[in-house]
Each structure stands twice: as structure tokens, then as C-alpha cells.
Structure 1
Amino acid sequence: MRGGILDHRITSIRPLNAPREYEVKCRLAYGGSTIVATRRSTCQKDFNKTWTEYKTGWTTPCNRWLGLEALHYISNQRSATFDIYVSGTGALVGQYYYSDFKIGDEASGYTLSYIGHFNHSTEASGNGFEYEGASKHINGQRFATWDRPDPSGCAISGGAGWWYGTDCPLTNLHKKFNTNASASNMVQWPDKNGVLEKVHFMETEIKVLW
């Protein structure tokens, strides 16, 4: 399947070693990629879901989450790139990429890992996975939810499932779109200059490099 930058297709796939098929949304341009998550501030449905919901995924009229189980199998087929697109206040509009990206299995806590990272050559955002000090970085960290919290309680205090370090990161794309909330409890991401801005839209994708 091939198409333009705005062309998508809902289809079923069965990644290598996966126990079943998964229904996914594919972007058809640039060799194809699988949508992991889509969120927009016009839809205030939050991502404060259970472990089981994050594991299996969900789709609503205004947001989508692929599911950790499918993401694990897709990312472990071959080398994969994870693409984050964000737009929001100030100069926040652009993309950031993580290469050799993988999600571990459930026994590992769906640990997130990557080897390289780089921004878009002409339309860049910042590196939110490594914003602020190393204790807030999420490379090598386990996923946590309110019903399976991390040791620091960030999934509970932040109100969203995410990968957490020993300190709670401000750059959590699953927090609420809430301009009345404190800065630590709303969706934020750094722009290309490292300035933290409010996010109005985000989409993440994974591309397997065959």
C-alpha cells in the first residue's frame, strides 16, 4: 500500500512472533509507518487508563493508542524508528526521531529503549525523552499506570500512564490538555530551542526498517 502524506489505511497486521493479528492505522507515505498514538486538545478524553487498557490499546472518535503489546511485537521485528510530531504554543511545531527503538515485553514492564535520536532537518521539535536531568530521562525505563504505579508515584501524581525515571518528567505526552492545571500536570514538550511549551496536538508513529 502506498499513498500521499495525508493518506491512511486501517488494516490488520500480524508482526513476527506475535500471537495474533492487530488492527492498526497505517500512514501510506514515505514507505509506510504505523500510528502509535494520536491526541488533540479539542478532545479532553484523558489517558489515565489502566494497565490492561494500555496493554491492549483503544480507539475513540478523537484519540488512538495502539497498545503496548502490539508495539512490543512491531518494534522487535527489526530495527525501528519512533517518530514524534507535536504542535502547540510558541515555536512548538515539528518532529523528533528515536532510532533502534524497542519496547520490551510485559515481564519487563514494557521497557522503552533506543540507541540514537535526531530531529527533523527542516521542521524540528526538541528531545522530550531526555529533557532536564538524567533522573527524568525515560530511555531504559518501565511503563507505569495508576493501578501499576512506578516507585516514585509519578503515574498517580501525573495522572497518566507513561515511562518514568526516578523523578517525574514534565514531558509526558499522555497528561491532560488542561490550561488550568499546574505546569507539571499538563501535556508539554520542548521546541527546537529547548523551550518547554504546551502541546495542542501530538501524533507518534513507528516505522520498521526492512
Structure 2
Amino acid sequence: MQVKMKGVFGYAGLILILFLSHSAQALKKPKVDSVQGTDCSQIKARSPEATSGVYVIRPAGVKASFKVHCEMLPDGGWTVFQRRTGRQVSFNRKWAAYKNGFGDLNKDHWLGLNNVFVMTKNKSKKWTLRVDLWDHEGGTAFAEYNNFRLGHEKNAYKLNVGKYRGNAGDAIRGISPDMDENGFGFSTLDRDNDGCSPCLFYDILVEECIMLQGGGWWYSKCGSASLNGDWYSSGDHTSWSSGLRWTTWKTPKTSSFKATRMMIRPE
């Protein structure tokens, strides 16, 4: 009987030791979804050797954390909120999708209007928006805007940008004053905030810009910029209205780009 009891206690002791050892290892191992910073810029500042990839952030004053793709560049960490490289991910989506985000953070995606809003809503902190463009011929261009932020959903995530710099041209303010997208709300297939009733877009009367151009955007009388339309391969773009457009860099007839990226960082 005594031998049996020793055997039982010996077995129970072994189980306890294994359990405690496993628990200790679990405590040492960081959680995959633990918050790593308030934004990509802070992560880069804390860890200068950090590489580009997916990180978990929680902006100051926000309860919920979320994942973002950080581009860790020599000038700091940028939070990506739009990337297009092909037609794998459809951007012809409704309000809820654009609000909450969609796609693969490591590939083509839209981070979500609400996520960008909570990052930029504190007006005491200013942000820079950077737009990168690649054409099918190997050309590249960029546009940067200071004082970037988005409004609340009740204001349709109204776009605000400040001073422009770059070599792609200021397509947000457009090729004419009546195409200025700054200060306009976001439009999707089921939410029309483009100000058209109707609008004369070149020589076409348009009731809703999104029906002509596709993809959600801050349309202002159809505007001069729209990076969420249909993606086209080289030589496949025949419309001056659809596609990925930034008409201050490329003329509408040939302006469907190979790739685009939109990202932000604190100033």
C-alpha cells in the first residue's frame, strides 16, 4: 500500500512539475496580439531596427487595439491604410466594408475609415499623408499632404489635407476648383456624398461618381484623384474615368496605375 501511495504522489508530482514548467514558458513568451505602440512611428522610434510588417497598435485615448501594416523607412514608421498591386482584392464594396476595412494587411488592403479616424481625430497631433504611385512603365511619383485627418462617421469621414508637396501633382485639389476633394465626405456604392445632382464630368452628366469610376472615395464632382477603382493590367485600360487615377501625374486615358499606396505618420 505504501509503495502504491509513493507511486501515486510521484506521478502527481511529475504532472505538477510539467504544468509549472509549461506555465513559466507561457509567461515568458510574448502574446502575438500584444500592443506594440500607438502607431508605426512610435514603434520605429522605440526599435530602430524594426522591419516592415504587421504590428498591433492602440492609438492614444482608444480602448480597442487593431493590426496595421507598418512601412519602416529611413524617415520613420508609416502606417499603411491603402495598398493596390493587382485585382486579387475587389475594392467595389459598400459602406460597412470601407468603414471596417478589408483585404490582407501584408498585401492589397484597405485599413478602414474608422481606424484612420481614431488615429487622426486628436487635433493637437498632426499627421502627414503620403500617396505613392507606380505606373506600368516603371515610373514612380508621390504626393504628400500635411495636416491630414478624417472626420467622424456622422460627417462621412470628411477628408482634410493641408499643404501639398511632391512630384505627382495635387490631384486631391484637382485640375479645376470645382473638383477639389478636400473637405468632402466619403462615397461608396450605398452612400452618395459626392455633391452631384447631377455633375458634368468632362462631357458626361453624372448622378453618382462611383457608378462611373467605381470604388469608394472622397469624390467631389468626380474629382481628379480616385485610387480605389478597378485595377487594370498594362494595355488593358481604355476608359478615362475608371481605373486607378491621379490625373495631375498621368492623363486620364492612360492613368490606371500598376500599384498605389497610401500611408500616414505623425508630423
CA shift, 1:198, in A, is 2.6
In the alignment, what sits opposite 1:163?
Answer: 218
CA shift, 1:170, in A, is 4.2
Residues in 2 aligned to 1:180 and 1:32: alpha-carbon distance in whole angstroms: 34
Q: Cα gap change, 1:72/1:206 in structure 2, threshold over 3 Å: closer, same or farther? A: same
Q: Cα gap change, 1:3/1:58 in structure 2, threshold over 3 Å: closer, same or farther? A: farther
**1:183 is matched with which residue: 226, 236, 240?**
240
Cα displacement string for residues 140-182 of structure 1 (whole angstroms, at most 9, x for unaligned residues):
00001011123421123322110011x1124200011233452
CA shift, 1:57, in A, is 0.7
Residues in 2 aligned to 1:190 and 1:182: alpha-carbon distance in whole angstroms: 13
In the alignment, what sits opposite 1:85?
Answer: 132
CA contact (8 A) 1:39 1:201 kept: yes
Q: Cα gap change, 1:191/1:128 in structure 2, threshold over 3 Å: closer, same or farther? A: closer
CA shift, 1:83, in A, is 0.2
Residues in 1 aligned to 2:187 and 2:260: alpha-carbon distance in whole angstroms: 20
Q: Cα gap change, 1:144/1:191 in structure 2, threshold over 3 Å: closer, same or farther? A: closer
Residues in 1 aligned to 2:103 and 2:90: alpha-carbon distance in whole angstroms: 13
What TM-score do the two structures reach when normalised by structure 1? 0.86
In the alignment, what sits opposite 2:154?
Answer: 107
In the alignment, what sits opposite 2:85?
Answer: 40
**2:169 is matched with which residue: 126, 133, 137?**
126
Residues in 1 aligned to 2:152 and 2:63: alpha-carbon distance in whole angstroms: 13
Structure with a larger share of its residues in strand = 1
Q: For residue 115 of structure 2, give the secondary structure of its aligned residue in structure 1.
A: helix
Residues in 2 aligned to 1:89 and 1:27: alpha-carbon distance in whole angstroms: 22
CA contact (8 A) 1:145 1:156 kept: no
| Unmatched 5+ stretches in structure 1 | none
2:129 is the alignment partner of 1:72: no
What is the letter of the counterpart of residue 109 of structure 2? R
| Unmatched 5+ stretches in structure 2 | 1-46, 197-207
**Segments of 4+ in structure 1 off by > 3 A?**
89-92
What TM-score do the two structures reach when normalised by structure 2? 0.69
CA contact (8 A) 1:88 1:200 kept: yes
CA shift, 1:20, in A, is 1.1
Cα displacement string for residues 110-159 of structure 1 (whole angstroms, at most 9, x for unaligned residues):
0000121111xxxx322221222122111000001011123421123322
Alignment coverage as a number of residue pairs: 200
Larger radius of gyration: 2
The percentage of counterpart residues that share the same residue type is 23
Q: For residue 212 of structure 2, give the secondary structure of its aligned residue in structure 1.
A: helix
CA contact (8 A) 2:172 2:182 kept: yes
Q: Cα gap change, 1:19/1:109 in structure 2, threshold over 3 Å: closer, same or farther? A: farther
CA shift, 1:195, in A, is 4.4
Residues in 2 aligned to 1:158 and 1:137: alpha-carbon distance in whole angstroms: 16
Q: Answer 1 or 2: higher relative contact order, Cα 8 Å, separation at least 6.
A: 1
Structure with a larger share of its residues in helix = 2
